[in-house]
Amino acid sequence: MKKLTDSAIFTKLGSNQSVMNNVRSINITRDKIPMETYQNEISTIQRRINYPTKGKVMYNLMNERIILINNPSIKLPKYLNIVGTQSTNKGIVMTVAINSYTNSSGEIFPKTLFGLLQNATISLELFENWNRFTMHIEFLKNAAQSYSRLMGKVFDKLFAINIDDFKADLVHFYLSKFFLVNVCGKNDSDTVNNIAYASCYNRSNYSLVTDQEDTFNGKQYDNIFELFNNLKTVPGLEGLNIRGFIENWVRMYGESTLLAMDYLPAFLNMIFASIVGGNLNKEYIIDSVAGKTNNKAFMEFSKLIK
């Protein structure tokens, strides 16, 4: 499984000393919120929320594989409010810092709580069953299409790629392939190319699209910075700047989605949270860009956690 520290964005932009100090200072015994504190919200989830992930989400909560924490002295950014922590008797558990999502009275909206619990379940499932998801072709195809659409939306805002069918297909293909190779850890292969080509919505010539790779430096899937360095060689994308792109991404989709560009748990948290509607990100925009493929990926993921 690709670890958080394998995320180039986290390493270069998110892992500053204060964030890491706060992560290391989490103490489950000290910071754990008693479950009865949010018994009303949990009861509402059990009675009124009906998503296919709910069974596993509630199982993980009740069996303390997910632990809610709240410590005012530990300030974690929204893109890192779920942290895997070693427990003495449970193995790895997911801690969920909820203080960014509670009101002044400490209350939390049930859908928001469910969204956070679902995100923690996603992270736990990927940690324990990485291959189950990254070997599932239908899940990968839909997730890759969602990724290319969401990333492509920012490219279109910055470079109007959609006025040129071939350029749009070229960008979507390499975004999708980066997702498969780098984010999901797949080996570069004809199968990966075929899955990535499904993101070419204008159906440009397959050979012309894949031949662009011959002009790259061979490092385009090493990390997202290298991908962007290579995409800058495409005519019309010479002004591509990774930091500017990230700023536009965060403005478009929300602060909590920062790591979604190159870290699979964060990406799935982003698109699946938009389905639940707990106000964890700019859900209406995410849904408008990739709602159809998000829902398909969600259904495939849900089948695999049963």
Tens-digit pLDDT profile for residues 29-48: 999 999 999 999 999 999 99
Using 50, 70 and 90 to split pLDDT, how confident is the model at 90? confident
Task: Render the burial of 93-103: b for 16+ CB within 10 Å, e for the rest.
Answer: bbbbbbbebee
Task: Determine phi and psi for 280, rounding to 5 degrees.
Answer: -90, -15
Q: How confident is the model at residue 106 (pLDDT cuts 50, 70, 90)?
A: confident
Q: Is the pLDDT of residue 87 over 90?
A: no
Identify the CA nearest to 98 among candidates 37, 55, 46, 49.
37
| 279 Rama class: left (phi>0) / alpha (psi -120 to 50) / beta | left
With bands split at pLDDT 50, 70 and 90, how would you rate the model's confidence at 86? confident
| Percent with pLDDT over 90 in the chain | 87
Calculate mean pLDDT across residues 184-193.
97
On the question of pLDDT at 14 being above 80, the answer is: no
CA angle, 139 as apex, 121 and 274 as ends, to 5°? 55
Q: Could you tell me if 15 and 7 are in contact, meaning their C-beta atoms sit under 8 angstroms apart?
A: no
Average pLDDT of 142-159? 98
- The 3-state DSSP class for residue 68 equals strand
pLDDT tens-digit map of 192-246: 999 999 999 999 999 999 999 999 999 999 999 999 999 999 999 999 999 999 9
Tell me the pLDDT tens digit for each residue of 109-129.
Answer: 999 999 999 999 999 999 999
Q: In 10 A of CB 64, how many CB atoms?
A: 14
**Which of residues 22 and 252 earns the better pLDDT score?**
252
Predicted confidence (pLDDT) per residue in 258-276, tens digit? 999 999 999 999 999 999 9
**Separation between Cα atoms, residue 34 and residue 55, nearest integer Å:** 21
pLDDT at 88: 65
Strand partners, 93: 85
DSSP 145: H
What distance in Å separates the CA atoms of residue 249 and residue 253, rounded to the nearest whole number? 6
Cβ distance 244 to 13 under 8 Å?
A: no
Beta-bridged to residue 69, according to DSSP, are 32, 97
Q: Calculate what percentage of the chain has a pLDDT beyond 70.
A: 100
Contact between residue 125 and residue 300 where contact means Cβ atoms under 8 Å apart: no
8-state DSSP, 280: S
Q: Hey, where are the domains in the chain?
A: 4-129, 134-304
Whether residue 89 has pLDDT greater than 80:
no
